[in-house]
Structure 1
Amino acid sequence: MTATVRQPASAGAPAVTPAEVPSVPPASAAAVRAVRDAAHATEPIPLAEVNARAELMARFDRSYLVPAETFLSIAARLTDPRRPGGPFRALTIDGRRAFRYHSVYYDTPGLRSFHDHRQGRRLRFKVRERVYQDTGERQFEVKLKGRRGDTVKHRRPLAGTDTPLDADYRAFLADTLQRAYGIDSPAILQPSLSTDYLRATFVADGERITCDAGLVCDDLRAGAGAGAGYRVRCDAGLVLVETKTAGHLTDADRLLHACGVRPAVFTKYCGALAALRPALPANRWRRAARCAFGGGGDGPERP
């Protein structure tokens, strides 16, 4: 695990702007290279067609931690023009097929969102700002758990210097939680974690696969608590693959299983906090966090 000291954000600070966001690891990293190669080896699909065929704002997600060589083999089979039903194609915008993502997650001082997910509560949610670094687009997103166990995402664009802590976005969050769950929004939210990575997206009818590499996670906890101001990096040889569908098992899931890759109990937010703050009760994510970030599961060390 790589751990470096950084200055923690203040509780009310706006999210990091694209110009301040750290870059993903160099292209020589095996996973970054594999994601780029796979995306450029298949046919393109424009964003408008992705939204028409597989927008999937309500979906079932499964996560896999896949060695780069295995990922390339699986991607080649999914994007094969001879695949029954047609090949998966790579999202392409202005000729680009791999995109830099930056997210800032918001939580209560007591990490309500983290603990609700740890305890498997039905009425749980995540709040984040997502920045599409290559275009500058910013979205305020609220992710909920649906009645069927699916993930339901609500979003609203962020403009100019807006931050998720501004009144309009707090009202959007409050309305979303009240309509979906009948619960009040937390009184206090603050930045808790940021993530940066490179993503390629592969699409077939009703199915979407996101493939992330070079994941870097920064603890934004204010103060000098355990983990505050530290960073962890995902293993440079692992691709984080997420299958997304309105139904259940997909062709991609079955192919991953056939190659000996099983679903991982892992989310970027909870897995990274488990690695950054080893004192947290996070047993359900500890194994996957150890696989993703290394370090024997003991958390980051001061350099």
Structure 2
Amino acid sequence: MTLAEVNARSCLLTRFDRSYLVPARLLTDLVALLTAPHRPGGAYRVLTIDGRRAFHYHSVYYDTPGLRSFHEHRQGRRQRFKIRERVYRDSGERQFELKLKGGRGDTVKHRLPLTGDAAPLDPAYRAWLDTTLRTAYGITAPTELTPSVTTDYLRATLVADGERVTCDAGLVCVDRRTGATVRCAPGLVLVETKGTGRLTDADRLLHAHGVRPAVFTKYCGALAALRPALPGNRWRRAAALAFPAAPPRRATG
């Protein structure tokens, strides 16, 4: 499936997300079941660009010096948000993204292309961020934002009508303040299902094979592992599974 077909069939800028940490060997079997040509309900298809089915992603998460975004997620605040720059390394495309929590507990993503030498903290993008937060929540954007965590991984995407499954392998997270790094356990894949609310067929298949949702997001789970002193108990269990090599390594040289 091409990128244009994915966006037409399953854009899902407003969606419900569920995360799973899945052994790669099991995931291989589950993907084969989901993409089987004669699967009841129709086969999931795989995003393919120029013959490739896996793509390198790089994200930079922005937060206040006091980690407002992290703590508001930790506290389960109704009006919470994440700010990031996403880079599609294979194409060079960049997007400035704001992820909000909707009134039903859904995720609402807003995005604005980053072109040329534009940077996320340039005045035009700060103005867009402020306008979007005012419109959605009636609040102003933080005045102090700095890069907090970067993530890199290799993603494959499966698509059905109104559903999407992303499979992220080789996740590496870096604390931009300290240079500490954590890496996802070898043979473990972060799988995220994205749908309109009800359980997707992928969710049901994962549950049938004994895989349950994990309380984990890349940003908050990474910070819980990178900075053990933070009060990140809600993510600690999943983070320990995803990043078993503790303590995090610090950059040298």
Which residue in the other structure is 2:99 paired with?
143
2:136 is the counterpart of 1:188: no
Of residues 40, 46, 57 in structure 2, which corresponds to 1:84? 40
Report the alpha carbon displacement of residue 178 of structure 1 after superposing the two structures with TM: 0.3
Structure 2 residue 116 is the aligned partner of structure 1 residue 160 = yes
* Structure 1: unaligned runs, 5 residues or longer: 1-44, 222-227
User: CA separation of 1:48/1:300 partners in 2, compared to 1, >3 Å: closer, same or farther?
Assistant: same
Report if aligned partners of 2:181, 2:249 keep a CA contact under 8 Å in 1. no
Task: Identify which of 261, 265, 270 aligns with 2:220.
Answer: 270
CA shift for structure 1 position 85: 2.1
Counterpart-to-counterpart distance in 2, 1:85 and 1:107: 42
Say yes or no: does 1:95 pair with 2:48.
Answer: no
> Where does structure 1 differ by over 3 angstroms across 4 or more consecutive aligned residues?
none
TM, length-normalised to structure 2: 0.97
- Which of 179, 186, 194 is equivalent to 1:229? 179
| Alpha-carbon contact 1:277-1:299 (below 8 Å) kept | no
Partner deviation per Cα, 1:221-266 (whole Å, 9 max, x = no partner): 2xxxxxx111110011101000000122111001100100000000
Mapped partners of 1:299, 1:245: distance in 2: 35
Alignment of 1:13-32 (within 5 A): none
Whether the 8 Å CA contact 2:30–2:205 is kept in 1: the answer is: yes
The letter for the 1-side match of 2:96 is F
Whole-angstrom distance in 2 between the partners of 1:82 and 1:94: 26
Note the C-alpha offset of 1:271.
Answer: 0.4
Distance 1:229 1:126 in 2: 21
Matched position secondary structure for 2:147 = strand
Distance in 2, Cα, partners of 1:299 & 1:149: 33
In 2: Cα distance, 1:204 partner to 1:159 partner: 31
* Aligned partners of 2:14 and 2:108 also within 8 Å: yes
SS in structure 2 of the partner of residue 288 of structure 1? helix
Give me the TM-score of the superposition, normalised by structure 1: 0.81
Query: Which protein is richer in strand relative to its size?
Result: 2
Structure 1: distance between partners of 2:188 and 2:72: 28
Deviations 1:22-78 (A, max 9, x none): xxxxxxxxxxxxxxxxxxxxxxx0111111110000000000000011101111110
Q: Per-residue deviation at 1:301?
A: 4.7
Counterpart among 80, 85, 90 of residue 129 in structure 1: 85
Letter in 2 for 1:144: L
Q: How do residues 1-303 of structure 1 correspond to structure 2 at under 5 angstroms?
A: 45-221=1-177, 228-295=178-245, 299-301=247-249
**Aligned residues: percent identity?**
73
Cα shift at 1:273 = 0.4
Which segments of 5 or more consecutive residues in structure 2 lack a partner in the other structure? none
- Aligned AA for 1:207? E
Q: Higher mean Cα deviation, 53-62 or 86-95?
A: 86-95
